[in-house]
Structure 1
Amino acid sequence: MIPVKISQSSLRIEMDDHTTKDAARQSELDLLEEVRSSIAIKHLAMQQRIARRYNQRHHPRSFQVKDLVLRRTEQARKPSSHGKLAANWEGPYRIIKVIGNGAYQLQTLDGYLANNPTYKSKDATQHFTI
C-alpha cells in the first residue's frame, strides 16, 4: 500500500474482519481432504473406463496343433531389393508343436521345419483352421 492509503484507511479496510477470513480459510482446509478423495475416486473411474475400452478391442488368440498361420516377416528376412514393398507376412505355416507362452514350432506345408520357434505378438499372426 502506498503511504496515503495507510494514513487514511478506507471503509473497506476499517470494516474488514480478519476472524471471518480465518474461519473461511479453515473451512477450506477442512474440505481439502474430501476434495482429494473425490478426485482420487474420479481418477480411478477414468482408469477403469480406459481399461474397459482397451479390453474391448484386444482379442487374445491361442492356436492348436495343425492350425495354419502366417508369420510376420522380420526386417532382417525381407529382401532389400524389394524396399518398402516387401511382404510383411510369410507363410502359410502349420503349427506342429505348442511350446508355451505364445511360442510355436512351425512347419511349411511341404513338410520342412521353420528355422526357429515363432513367438506371437498381438498382431503377429492370422489364424486359419483346417
Structure 2
Amino acid sequence: MDEVHEGICGTHIGGQSLTSKILRAGLRKKLEDSKGEWAKLIPQVLWSYNTTEQSSTKETPFRLVYGCDAMLPVKISLQSPRTKNINEGDDIQNRRTELDLVEENRNKSTLQQVATNRAIARKYNKKLKPRIFVEGNLVLRKVEDVRKPLGHGKLSANWEGPFQVCKVIGKGSYKIQTLDGTVLPNNWNIYSLKLYYS
C-alpha cells in the first residue's frame, strides 16, 4: 500500500483512483502468490470484483444489485462508525430509500456504459480507413492457410492475383474473376482483398 501511495505519481492520484489501484494490485499479488491453488481464491477474487468500481459504469456490481455499498467483515468486527451509530428506525428508512433508488442507479450506470462504449467506438473509428471497391477494380487476394500449397514457406507471397471485381454484393462482400474472365466461386470479403496498383 505504501508503494502505491508514495510512488512516482503518489501525490497526483485521487482517492477513488488510489483505492481502485490498490485493489487491483491486491488481486494481482494474491494470484501470483497462489500459483496453482487459484481455485481456492475464487470467493475472494469475486468479492474483490463485486466491490470494485467498474470503469464502464462508475458503480460497483454489488451496489447495482443490492442498492448499497458492501461492508467489509473487518469493519463490522472493528465497530466502524457505520456500525456503531446504527439506529434501527433510521436504518430501515434509509434502506427503503436506497431500494427505491436502485432502478435509477441502474439506469444511470446503463447510460454511463453506453456513453463509454460510444467514446471507445469514436476513438476506434478515427483510425479506421474504410475500403470500398467498385466493379472493374483490380485487386489482390490473400493466400489463406487452407489454400497454401505444400511448398509454401515463410518467404513466399502472401497475396495472389491480380483479379478483377466483377460484382459488388454489399456489406464488404464481392465477386471476383481472373483477368481472362473466369468467375471464382464463393464471395470474397473485403478483408481478404486489397487494391492492386499496376
What is the TM-score of this pair, normalised by structure 2? 0.47
Aligned with residue 119 of structure 2, among 31, 43, 49? 49
Bigger shift: 67-76 or 83-92?
83-92
Bigger shift: 42-51 or 17-26?
17-26
Instruction: Name the CA distance, whole Å, in 1 between partners of 2:140 and 2:125.
Output: 24
Aligned to 2:159: 89
Deviations 1:53-90 (A, max 9, x none): 33333333222233211011122332222334432210
Aligned to 2:167: 98
Aligned to 1:6: none
Higher normalized helix content (fraction of residues): 2
Which structure has more relative contact order (CA 8 Å, sep 6+)? It is 1
SS at match of 2:117: helix
- Count of residue correspondences: 112
Aligned with residue 65 of structure 1, among 123, 132, 135? 135
Q: Are the equivalent residues in 1 in contact too, given 2:135–2:168 (CA < 8 A)?
A: no
Deviations 1:75-116 (A, max 9, x none): 233222233443221012233x215232223223xx363643
Aligned with residue 39 of structure 1, among 109, 112, 117? 109
Is 1:30 matched up with 2:30? no
Is 1:107 matched up with 2:178? yes
CA RMSD of aligned residues (A): 2.7
| Amino acid across the alignment from 1:127 | L
Aligned to 1:127: 195
| Amino acid across the alignment from 2:99 | L
Identity %: 31
Q: Are the equivalent residues in 2 in contact too, given 1:70–1:89 (CA < 8 A)?
A: yes
Instruction: Name the CA distance, whole Å, in 1 between partners of 2:145 and 2:135.
Output: 27
Instruction: Name the CA distance, whole Å, in 1 between partners of 2:186 and 2:101.
Output: 59
Give the 3 Å change call, closer, same or farther, for CA 79–16 of structure 1 in structure 2: closer
Q: Are the equivalent residues in 2 in contact too, given 1:69–1:94 (CA < 8 A)?
A: yes
Instruction: Name the CA distance, whole Å, in 2 between partners of 1:39 and 1:47.
Output: 12
Q: Are the equivalent residues in 2 in contact too, given 1:93–1:107 (CA < 8 A)?
A: yes
Gapped regions of structure 1 (runs ≥ 5):
1-14
Instruction: Name the CA distance, whole Å, in 2 between partners of 1:62 and 1:91.
Output: 18
What is the TM-score of this pair, normalised by structure 1? 0.66
Moved over 4 A (4+): none
Deviation at 1:119, TM superposition (A): 0.8
